[in-house]
Amino acid sequence: MPELPEVETTIRILRKKILGRTFVDFWTDHYRIDKKIKGLKIKEIRRKGKNILIDLSDKKTLLVHQKMTGHLLIGKWKKTKESWVSQVKGPLLEDSMNRFIHLIFFLDNRKMLALSDLRKFAKVELWNTNKLEKAKEIKNLGPEPLNKNFSLIKFKQAIRSKKGKIKEVLMDQNVIAGIGNIYSSEILWQADIHPLRKTNKLADEELKKIYKAMKNILEKSIQLQGESFSDYRTPEGKKGHFDTIRKVYKREGEPCPKCHTIIKRIKVGQRSAYYCPSCQLL
C-alpha cells in the first residue's frame, strides 16, 4: 500500500500537472462516482495521512485512498475493445502496472486523470469539504510526522499514548499518520529498535533515535519519489527509487548492511516485520 512518501510524491506531481483544471466528464467500470463532479474546478491538492484530497469548487473535495494497488496517473488514453491504451509513450504504455485502468476523469485541457488499480480496492469519493473534515477517517488521524510542529516532545507523547509493540504503534494511523509496513521496518532498523519492543519500555534516548530515523527516512523517500518494488508508480507512470536504499524490508535472508547478520522476518499483528537480530535486540 502506498504510504506517506508515495502519497506525498503523488500530490506534488498532481499539483504541477492538474491544479486549476476542470473535470469535464468521467468513465469507470467499477467505482461509483457522483455526477456532480462534472464542471468542478481543482482548487487545491493536499494529503492527510495516506489520503489524497483534491479540493474543488462548490465546496467539494474528491477523496482518493489508493489502498493496496491503486495509483493515479496523468496522460491520455484511447479505448479499445479490451482496455484503455496509453497514447503517451514511455512507462504509461510500457509498464504493466499502469495498465489496470478502472477510472478516468477527463479534464478541460484534454488530459486525463486515471486510476490504475490491479485489485480494485481503492476508495474514490466526492464529499462536501466541511463534512469530510469532520469525518472519522480524517478527523481521527494522528499528527503528520514531517510537520514542523511535530516536535520530539509531541512524538514521545503520541507514542506513549498507546500501549503495545512499537512496530504496531508506528503503523497506527490514529497515533501518527502515514507510516505503514515498509517505513516502520526501515525506521526501526535505522534506530536499532526491535519491532516487538513495548512502547512503555522505551527509554527517552531510544524514542529520540526513532524520531530522528522517522524524519530522515520519510524525507529521503520523498526525495526518491517513494518505493516501487511492488505496484506503486508516480502519476507519470514512473517507478520511485527508494528501493535503491531499502535496507531491511523484504530482505529476509540477506545480510544486515550494518553488521552482516542475516535479516529475519516475524509476524507483528498479522503483518511482516523485518529486522536484524544483532542490531535490534529485544
Specify if 281 maps to a domain.
no
Total count of residues recorded for the chain? 282
Task: Identify the domain boundary among 92, 116, 139.
Answer: 139
- The reply to whether 39 and 90 lie within a common domain is yes
Q: CA distances (Å), 124 to each of 97, 161, 167, 208, 261, in order?
A: 19, 32, 29, 37, 44
Same domain, 181 and 266: yes
CATH code assigned at 170? 1.10.8.50
What are the beta bridge partners of residue 265?
A: 274
Domain end: 114, 139, 164, which one? 139
In a domain, 156, yes or no: yes
Alpha-carbon gap, residue 170 to 85, rounded angstroms: 39
**157 in the same domain as 135:** no
Cell 463534512: give the residue: 131
The pLDDT, as a whole number, for residue 1 is 82
pLDDT of amino acid 36: 97
Q: Does any domain span residue 114?
A: yes
Residue 31 is which amino acid? Y
Residues taking part in catalysis: 2-3, 50, 271
Half-sphere exposure for 84 (CA within 13 Å, toward CB): 24
Same domain, 103 and 175: no
Q: Do 258 and 135 share a domain, yes or no?
A: no
Q: What is the pLDDT of residue 176?
A: 98
Q: Examine the domain organization and report whether 133 and 214 are in the same domain.
A: no
Q: Evaluate whether residue 264 is within a structural domain.
A: yes
Task: Mark whether 77 and 19 lie in a shared domain.
Answer: yes
**CA atoms of 226 and 182, how far apart (whole Å):** 11
Provide DSSP, the chain.
---HHHHHHHHHHHHHHHTT-BEEEEEESS----GGGTT-BEEEEEEETTEEEEEETTTEEEEEE-TTTEEEEEE-EEE-SS-EEESS-SHHHH-GGG--EEEEEEETTS-EEEEEESS---EEEEEEHHHHHHSHHHHT----TT-TT--HHHHHHHHHTS-SBHHHHHH-TTTSSS--HHHHHHHHHHHT--TT-BGGG--HHHHHHHHHHHHHHHHHHHHTT---SSS---TTSPPPSGGGT--STT-TTSBPTTT-PBPEEEEETTEEEEE-TTTS--
31, part of any domain: yes
Q: What is the pLDDT of residue 54?
A: 98
223: number of Cβ within 10 Å? 13
Is 282 within a domain? no
Residues 6+ apart with CB under 8 A from 150: 143, 144
Residue numbers in the chain where pLDDT is lower than 50 = none
Q: What pLDDT, on the 0 to 100 scale, is given for residue 64?
A: 98
How far apart are alpha carbons 260 and 244 in whole angstroms?
18
145 part of a folded domain: no
Clarify whether residues 166 and 259 are in a common domain.
Answer: yes
Per-residue pLDDT, 82? 86
pLDDT at 267: 96
Q: Which domain covers residue 205, as residue numbers?
A: 152-275
> Residue 44: which CATH number?
3.20.190.10
Looking at the structure of the chain, the number of domains it has is 2
Query: Within 10 Å of residue 247's Cβ, how many Cβ atoms?
Result: 17
Shared domain for 14 and 133, answered yes or no, is yes
Gap between the Cα atoms of 25 and 109, Å rounded: 12
146 belongs to a structural domain: no
* Residue 248 and residue 206 share a domain: yes
- Listed residue (236, 190, 194) closest to 213, CA to CA: 190
135 and 245 part of one domain? no
